[in-house]
Amino acid sequence: MSKAEKKVKVAVIGCGVIADFHVKALNAIDDCEIAGVYGNLPEQCKEFAEKYNLKVFTSMEEVFSSDCDMITLCTPSGTHAEISVNAMKRGKHVIVEKPLALTVEECDEIIETEKATGKICAPISQLRYSDNVRQVKKAVEAGKFGKLTLCSVYMKFYRSESYYAGSWRGTKKMDGGGALMNQGIHGIDILRYIVGNVKSVQAKVSTLVHNIEVEDTAVAAIEFDRGALGVIEGATSVMPGYPRRLEICGEKGSLAMEEDAIVKVDVPDLDLKISKNDAENFKDPAAFSFEGHRRQFNNIINAVLGKEKLEYTSKDAAETVKLILSIYKSSETGERVYL
Ligand SMILES: NC(=O)c1ccc[n+]([C@@H]2O[C@H](COP(=O)([O-])OP(=O)(O)OC[C@H]3O[C@@H](n4cnc5c(N)ncnc54)[C@H](O)[C@@H]3O)[C@@H](O)[C@H]2O)c1
């Protein structure tokens, strides 16, 4: 088979909520094929494999010694670093769901292992593949807002007690954090994508209504490298929950997004389509399309085949994790934290 015809063989690890999105997205890409699936719950794994007509791997070792080129990691966040590092050391590229990992040390180990093995560890941030998010980023880069002044993201979500009950979600070890590290990371990552890196944070996080080890309510005042200020709010404690709201404001104009819709544009010479948000994923975490994943996987598969540069790297994802960890540190110490 010539290089142009080579398909990247991907093994799916984990068979829960997000694994469905991964299988649908991979099935929609010509240059890859699914090698099979492995999950640590054999019954669930068998059922998942039957649903999509996939081969079942019965252990991680079987995946590592197979001829697959890549794994895609749909397992709880606390497993990401160890499995990613082991996979790269066994010669596999990795796609890893958000968050990349739960500590600075874990993020650094992933980045070091990529360098040492020459393998890719590609983290997921599917909102970076939204047309609207990209248009807003482009407008910022073209100077349409003038000097940016206030750039904020508000994520007032609701999750029920049953969402957390008996699950890895809400635990320190496997979730690493709550409303920010799990649910809010998407909004925080696109804020960084559009505005740039954050220089310092002053924050307070609390666990107000859920019986969990991590925060369900958080607020941070942030200062970007470029000088703009902003606010990050994240919660799973707000009934009934509101759509994620992103506000980019500057000396020449301002804009607001709700979920993926641009709902307000007051920027001179910026012709963006205004629409009404109808997404429900601020209430139901599985109520979104797999299109964002498909677009990002397309870039990742092309990067593995040497056809494109990898757009979203582990280094970039690590900055988002480090920002969230800085928010936790500021809350713990009461001090402003410099990144
Ligand atoms: N990008 C997104 O929008 C998005 C949405 C939801 C979840 N996620 C992320 O995806 C990951 C999984 O979340 P989920 O909601 O699908 O969880 P889930 O609990 O529904 O599924 C987790 C799966 O992993 C399996 N598993 C657990 N430990 C394992 C191990 N050591 N080896 C092999 N399999 C193992 C479980 O059996 C289960 O099948 C999390 O990191 C989460 O943050 C991302």
DSSP per-residue letters across 245-291: EEEEEESS-EEEEETTEEEEEE-TT-----------TTT-TT-S-SH
Pocket of ligand 1 contains residue 97 by CB under 6 Å: yes
Mean pLDDT, rounded, for 7-35:
97
Dist. CA 119–CA 134, nearest whole Å:
27
Looking at ligand 1, which atom is closest to the CA of residue 18? 16
Please determine, for residue 281, whether its predicted confidence score (pLDDT) is greater than 70: no
Mean pLDDT, rounded, for 292-301:
97
Question: In which order are the strands placed within the sheet that holds 32-38?
Answer: 32-38, 8-13, 70-73, 93-96, 121-123
What pLDDT digit, counting tens, does each position of 196-216 carry?
Answer: 999 999 999 999 999 999 999
Dist. CA 253–CA 269, nearest whole Å:
10
pLDDT of residue 278: 81
pLDDT of residue 1: 45
CA-based max dimension of the chain: 60
Please determine, for residue 2, whether its predicted confidence score (pLDDT) is greater than 90: no
Mean pLDDT value across the chain:
96
3-state secondary structure 105-152: HHHHHHHHHHHHHCCCEEECCHHHHCHHHHHHHHHHHCCCCCCEEEEE
Dist. CA 191–CA 197, nearest whole Å:
9
Q: E strands, 2-113, where? A: 8-13, 32-38, 70-73, 93-96
pLDDT of residue 317: 98
| pLDDT band at residue 334 using 50, 70 and 90 as cut-offs | very high
Looking at ligand 1, which atom is closest to the CA of residue 288? 3
pLDDT of residue 279: 74
pLDDT of residue 209: 97
Q: What are the structure tokens assigned to 176, written together?
A: 């690493």
What pLDDT digit, counting tens, does each position of 139-154 carry?
Answer: 999 999 999 999 999 9
What pLDDT digit, counting tens, does each position of 226-280 carry?
Answer: 999 999 999 999 999 999 999 999 999 999 999 999 999 999 999 898 888 887 7
Ligand 1 centroid – CA 14 distance (Å): 6
Please state the pTM of the whole predicted model.
Answer: 0.96
Lowest mean pLDDT among 47-56, 116-125, 278-287: 278-287
Pocket of ligand 1 contains residue 75 by CB under 6 Å: yes
Mean pLDDT, rounded, for 161-190:
97
- Which is it for strands 148-156 and 229-235: parallel, antiparallel or unpaired? parallel
Q: How many CB atoms lie within 10 A of CB 186?
A: 21
Dist. CA 255–CA 55, nearest whole Å:
47
Pocket of ligand 1 contains residue 18 by CB under 6 Å: yes
Ligand 1 centroid – CA 241 distance (Å): 23
- Percent of the chain surpassing pLDDT 90: 93
Q: How far is the first Cα of the chain from the last one, in angstroms, to the nearest whole number?
A: 48
Ligand 1 centroid – CA 26 distance (Å): 17
Pocket of ligand 1 contains residue 182 by CB under 6 Å: yes
Ligand 1 centroid – CA 76 distance (Å): 4
pLDDT of residue 4: 53
pLDDT of residue 262: 96
Domains delineated in the chain: 3-126+292-310 (3.40.50.720), 130-283+319-338 (3.30.360.10)
